[in-house]
Structures are given as C-alpha cells and as structure tokens.
A and B are shown apart, each in its own frame.
Chain A
Amino acid sequence: MTHARPCALAALSFALAACGGSDPDPTQYGSDPPLPELQTQLLPTMGIAKPAEWGNQQPTVPPGYAIKAIATDLAIPRQTLILPNGDILVAEGRGGGAPKLQPKDIVAGYIKSMGTSPVKGGNRLTLLRDADGDGSYEVQTVFAEDLNAPYGLALVDGRLYVANQDALVRFDYVEGATRPSGPPVKVTDLPSAINHHWTKALAASADGRFLYVGIGSNSNITERGMEAEVGRAMVWEVDAATGAHRPYATGLRNPTALAIQPGTGQLWAVVNERDEIGPNLVPDYLTSVREGGFYGWPYSYWGGNVDPRVRPEDPEKVAAAIEPDYSLGSHVAALGVAFSNTAMGEEFADGVFVGEHGSWNRRDPVGYKVVFVPFRGGRPDGPPVDFVFGFRGSDGMTRGRPVGVSVDPRGALIVADDLSNTVWRVAPVR
C-alpha cells in the first residue's frame, strides 16, 4: 500500500471532523434546489478518490450505447474539440501552482493530490484521427506543443483559438492538417497572477466575432485577499479581430466550461461553487449567462444567500445577484458542457452533457460521471440522467475522472478523463 500515509492523514481528518454520519445526496437538482443551513466544521470533511487502473473494466453507458477508449497515455487531457473533418483535438496540461499561504494549504494540497494522476501535464494539443470512420482513432499525434496549460479550445474560420492559463492564442489551421500552419499568435493576455483556479474555458460566438473566456476566482472564498480577485470570477468577451475585451458576466466563481446553444446563440456555462460550508452547499450549476449579469460570488450564493465569510460585505451586490438556471448538485465539480444533437439518439437529442470531475469536500462522493440534462423549449427541464458512469467502482476505487465533453455531429460523445489519461467515445449502437 503505497498510499498508507495519506490514508492515515485522511483518517485523522475524518476523526477530527465534527461528528455526523454520512452526507446523503439530497437530489439537489433543477431550478429551485433545497439549500440547507451553513455548516462550519473544525476540519473540512474530505473524501478523496483512491485511484486504480481500469484493467479490463470500462465506464458504464445506457443500453443502446457503446463506449470505447480512443486515446490512452495522454498527459492530463482536459478539454476536447471536434474539427470539421472529424479529427479531435485534446488539450493536455496542468496549471496553477498558487503559492501556499497558510499551513492548511500544505496539508490540504497534499491530500487532494492523492486523488489525481501523478503524470506531468503535457502543455500540448494532441490530434486524434479516425480516417475510415469506424470509430477507432488510428492516428494519435502531437498537434502543438510548448503551450502553457492549454484548456479551452475553439475553431472559427480556419483559426484555432487556444486558451492557455495565461493568454489566449491563435493558430492558423487548414482542414485535414496534423500540425498548425504556423506558430501561435497571442490574441490577448488573460489574468494569471496566482491562478488558484487556472483553467480558462473558451467558446466562440455563433457568428465568430467574439470569444468568451471563463476566468475562475483566485480563492475558495476570498482567503487570498480581495485584491487578488480583481478581474477574476467572470466571463470575458474578447473581440476576435482586435483582442479587446470586457467583462461579459461577473460573480461566476469558477466557470469551467462554456458552450453556445445551437439555434439561439445563447452562451451557457457550468460553474463550480464554493466549498467548506457543508456537504450540500453550494450547488454547482449550469446556467445561461446573461450579458452584464452578476451571479453572486463572493458575496452570496444561489442568488441572494449571503456568505458570511466575506468581509467587507456588499449588500448592493447581494441584492443584484442572479439565481442560476439549474443546480447540478453540490461539489460535483462540473468541468465540461456540450449541447447534444439528434445524432445522439432520440432520448438524448435535446439537452446538454455535463462532465463531473467528482467531489472532495464531502464524505459520500458525488459526481465522477457524465450526466445528461434534458432541455425543452431551449431550457433545462427535468432531472439529470446518468450517461457515462461507473468511474468509481463498487470496490470504492476511482478509475477515471471526467473533464471536458464534446459532441461529434456524426453522433458520439467524447469524454476526456484526466485520471486515467484517456479519451472515451460513447456512440449509439447502430
């Protein structure tokens, strides 16, 4: 047991964490989730994934669908992009490295690292190609390298945009190429000081004129100081031609994935909410992003529910806070979102897929799966449906952690898994 020491440490934290049994999952889904009272504990409750190899196992998918690993041995795959010719780009990297300010940062950072892959981040894009369309991706080649923790990807008119952890860059791309036509050109710098939440999500507007960049907060709840949060916890709108940018929506603690709704052109986001106020607070959410909207962080959560950990307070901001559209449940850690299409099959045609990396701040783990949130009339409607699951086995071991999801127009869901360093493809059986 190589993990004996961290286990002992985790056991200690369990023992010290204030009494209380399990953290039942309260079906905290939809537009009006139950929000329990705030809880403070002497030690945050932790439930860290125990990694294991897949061996001959695989994630589970609904009847009528098949799953296959189309790329393995990647270097921390995060987000994926389907190119027009069907090739798949995979962004690989591990960013962050925020300084440890408190004794707690050292202990908690060590414990949390036990639930992630030990592989070094690739800082590259890998291209996967299935030339004959049989669902096997026979080509796996490095498309671009020497990037800085690339995450968000978008393609607009032969221009491939890559959101590094410190800058938005652009490559010229010719359809069918396995390398970009030239070196990257910087579109704009992105906020990167400290970079507590380092991922930079990306989506292009329907007309391609604007790029939306999700920028996470620099702390859980302002514990690195208010000054560190200037320009953070927001979505930027970047002019693709000039690189000029402005805040498009604010108060979004960690907008980890963005998507444009087909038909309406509306921007949607999945957002990771704050920790350490209980196993069932605060719900991570899926929401349409209103231009100029303020979504509460840090002053309040789920609309106007004040977070007493923030000083100085700002009642005006609290009063202005918008309630998100759809709760995914607390601590699920949604890191991917993609709109579906009719090629995915009737039952899963209208809605979004959401990749849930899985919880740490909760005794009973949640997330660790890809869910489908059904839509009707362009809005979420109904509880989420498990679409790819079984990343945590009945033996309590965790074999994968979903991150980015993409929908192939030809009818397949592509899931990046940054624990097993695999890309999975789920397609209807024809």
Chain B
Amino acid sequence: MHPVHAFLLAATVPPFLGAVLSDYAYTATYHVQWSNFSSWLIVGGLVFGFAALVCSLVGLRRADRRGGRFAVSLTLILAICVLGFVNALIHARDAWATMPMGLVLSVIVAVLACAATVVGFSTLRRRVAP
C-alpha cells in the first residue's frame, strides 16, 4: 500500500467517528447543530473515502497487490463510500427525520472505516516484513 493511500484511508476515521459522536449528541440534546456537524463530517469522510477508493482501484492493476487482504480492504472502502453516501442523504433530511437511521448508519460506516484502515495497514506490515 502506497503511503498516500494509507493516509487517505486513515483520514476517513476521524470524521466518521466524529459523525457518530455528534449524532449521539443530537439524540441526547435535540440541538440540531449537532446534526449539521454530522452532515459536514460525513461529507469530509467521503472526500477521503472516495480518494482512497480511487487509490485502491489504481492499485488493483498491480498484480502483486491482488492478495486476499487487498480484496477485503477494497470491499470495505467500497462499502464505506456507498453507505457513507446514503448516510449523507439521510442527514440531508430536516431535523429529527435523520433519526434513528442516521445514527445507525454513522456507527456502521465508522466501524467499516476502522476495519478498512486496520486491514489496509496490515498489508503494509506484510510488505515491510521479510
């Protein structure tokens, strides 16, 4: 995995995690600004997610990276992009119409982002090991 690819993948974690926290804050306080924060954090996460997806697709052409873990990583990134986009649309709804689906999707996408990063970085470790 290229360092830039690794950076992009890891960069999806903070915004998607932030979206979970601010979604939770919205459910706890009903202050709609938390929902607005989530909307932007999800867009931010998607920017890195789609960039990481492009890196993966480019990497797909390189035969030596078509290992099992790479396939898992690619699948996870794809899932992040698709579910993250759906979550962005859910968060475009007004007020409480984002809930509970918005929080559920935010949690799923954040977990996927963590998993994709761990799996992606493990390919890095394998390549570095003798």
Contact = CB atoms under 8 A, between A and B. Distances in A.
Interface centre among A40, A103, A222 (most CB of B within 10 A): A103
Contacts of B97: 40, 221, 276, 308-309
Contacts of A222: 32, 94-95
B40 interface: yes
Contacts of B90: 42
Interface string B73-92: 00000000000001011111
B36 A311 contact: no
A221 B36 CA distance: 14
B62 to A, nearest CB: 33
B90 to A, nearest CB: 7
Nearest to B40: A103
Contacts of A225: 31-33
Nearest to B99: A311
Interface residues of B, number: 20
B7 interface: no
Given A222-B32, A311-B30, A43 B89 contact: yes
A103 B98 CA distance: 14
B39 interface: yes
B66 interface: no
Contacts of B32: 222-226
Nearest to A219: B94
A311 B95 contact: yes
A76 B33 CA distance: 33
A79 B89 CA distance: 36
Contacts of A429: none
A43 B33 CA distance: 21
Contacts of A57: none
A426 to B, nearest CB: 38
Contacts of A42: 86, 89-90
Contacts of B6: none
B15 to A, nearest CB: 13
Interface centre among B30, B39, B97 (most CB of A within 10 A): B97
A308 B96 CA distance: 7
B95 A104 contact: no
A165 B32 CA distance: 25
B125 interface: no
B55 interface: no
Contacts of A1: none
Contacts of B86: 42
A86 B55 CA distance: 71
Contacts of B88: 103
Closest 5 CB pairs of A and B: A104-B92, A223-B94, A311-B30, A309-B97, A309-B95
Given A220-B94, A221-B97, A222-B94, 18 more contacts: A16-B89, A102-B36, A102-B39, A102-B91, A102-B92, A103-B39, A103-B43, A103-B88, A221-B94, A223-B32, A223-B35, A226-B30, A276-B93, A308-B97, A309-B94, A309-B96, A309-B97, A310-B96
